[in-house]
A and B are shown apart, each in its own frame.
Chain A
Amino acid sequence: MSYNSAILLIAAPLLMAFLSFILGIFNKRIPAILLVLTLSFNFYFSTYLLTLVSSKGVLVSVISGFEPPFGINLVLTYFSLLLLSLIYLIILSASVVFVSKKTDENTVKVATLLFLFTAAASGLLLTGDIFNMFVFFEIFAVANISLISLKKNKTSLKGSFKYLLLSSIGSAFLLFGIGMIYGTLGTLNIAEIGLRFYELSPLTGAFIFIMFLGAILSETETFPFNFWITDSYKGARNFVNILLGSASSVAALYIFFRLFFTIIGYPINNRYEFLISMDARLIIALISAISVIVSEIGALSSKSVKRILAFSSASQMGMILFAFSISDFNSFSAALTLIFNLSLSKAILFLSSHEIMKGAKEKNIESFTGGLGRNPVFSALFIFGSLSMVGFPLTLGFYGKISLVASAVSASGYFSILVFVILLASAAELFYYFRLMHKLFVSEQNHTEKTKMNWFYAASGSLLLAVMIILALMPKFTERIVSSAAGDMMDKTTYIERVLKAEDLK
């Protein structure tokens, strides 16, 4: 298989989505098994492409013979493939959780939705065309909305409706921005837009910047565009939480990067600057810092565990966006480490908290009481996950947080003040995570029944934990992937060159 078959990453799940509909008629288990198989394949293939890209640089896979910038093409960069593998890993663990559920009339539909989700995510991360990105963005949102509403209770419907509203406003903004670009530049290819963005008047640039902000900030769970999070997380099923909290966030961050850095930004002196008339970095940094503070405070006084985790996820996303806004090599490395930490540990947290709270009537922090005695495996998972989340020394979260501080302080100016504020706010995060962990240690009797251990959950959780531990304990490996991805992110020139001169490389 060569890199030209990268389209398989999108096509295989799409094909399976149709297949599973048909095969699901015979046996409801089949789609689920197909799901796990497809994702394993996708994960394997994306890592294979990753090794290919790491040796050959950015690759472009041209579809149906039209060369860029005219045709549709897939751009394989180290950064996108790395995030894609991560997303596949998360979806894989979520689908393992999904497989363990009893089958019902919904199983086939959900499997289809998950295939759709996978295909959309692959498309988002691989495409080199901004309109394609919009299309996949829509599919992605549809898949998310349907998945959130699976539970069919009030919160779930409310959450999915909010998500629907906000993301459709967002995609309208995106469409508007794309339209503006197409109208002025006459191209939809990301690389070419990035090359020729300077041709736009600064006012148009600023306008497009704001359109893009409106498009993406809802997906990146940034205050005040994220009013969907609490209800959606609370109302969704467990594996959907994993997808929302980890996979969707990673995809959103990827879109954020492409829209703002590859298109609008240009690297100078080892740092991205923006081709618009206002200080875009300040805006992003401010919004993300406010987002961190608000969500930390919101989480502090929440009682429902899922809501706490949702707020925490928003605050972590704020931190990553803040790292993006510093926009140099160091901060991108920090952001990548934080992305790894967020996606892996958040998945573990959702998964294990669900198992710990199983059997309790009210799913709030009180149902954590005595978790360690009741459910040692998942309590241990939860403790590991939250320790990494809050940055216990020598975990991924620690590396991420420290290097974020380092890059912000060395960027000086308002970043060093904002990072101080963010750190103070993240003390709140420590507080509520430690409150949860403390509840696990409480040995008082409560009325939560001891439930049977779910091995699928355990397997999926320990898979994620293993990845996390490997990343934290294998310095050479982590260092290499983080620095190549960050280097890839910094290197806009190569991206444009490779995409626009694809025919020379063949």
Chain B
Amino acid sequence: MVNIMLRFLFAAFTSIIMGLLFMGIGRKFIARIRRHYAGPFYQSFIDVIKLFSKKSISHNWIMDFGVMMGFAGIIATIIFMPIGPFNVFSQMQGNIIIIIYFMTIGYLGMAMGVAASGNPNATIGIARALTLMLGYEIPFVLTVILLVFANNSSLLQVMVVNQQGGFMEWNAIRYPFAFLAALIALQGMLGEQPFDAMIAPSEIASGPMVELSGKFLGFGFLQHAAQIFLETGIIVNMFLGGSQNFFIFFAKQLALYLLTVAVSGIFPRYRFEDAVKFFWMAPTALAAIQLIIFII
């Protein structure tokens, strides 16, 4: 029992710390691309600590509850994801369907929390985010189905094991179209440009975050950090062979994240209905082609 709790805490803290670190490095990276300056790579840690110590306002108990639930949902999902060689539970090592559904708790919690704040900007952002979700889930699910078929298991751990033995065995090489589709879906999942219509700061005042202050914004930060860790982690496990080594695992994640940041650095924002259309066209077609190739 204590063992499990410790493993739980390890997973939770790793994800938060690594996620915040990725965010910091990402900021530096984008600053290099755009040729401006950024804070130190530990800036995100400072931000979070600062936010948690500032005073904050809340409109009602549902807002408190929702924001907590949003963060808890992402953490709970991470518990099921293999982090390098590490798994919290011995069975259910990365049950991908559970993971996909657990991720929704995070979205629901956050959405509920900010909707309870009563600010229309926040709700518009949520509406956009949910619509976008309908877009990127389709290619993502198709790639998931492909890998489930290929490995005859829906466990991420099994997928990782099947990719051992050099990078030629990686699913990214075996199924390049699917990998491409998953990368585009990842861009949408992380809400990076060109798929960031839900936070559009100048248009709807940062969308969901508009009414968050102090520790609520801190929760939002943490959630985003954990989300980066989670989603890059899933793709690494699925396509880049996971790793038996923590540091290689994190490095792969970081590489993926920097790739998305780089893409976001050079793309303008899509209208979100166009984004949904795009998701249903290009990446879905890619994933479907890969799936059909595989079945044939």
- Is there a contact between chains A and B in the complex with CB atoms less than 8 Å apart? no
Binding site for B on A (CB under 8 A): none
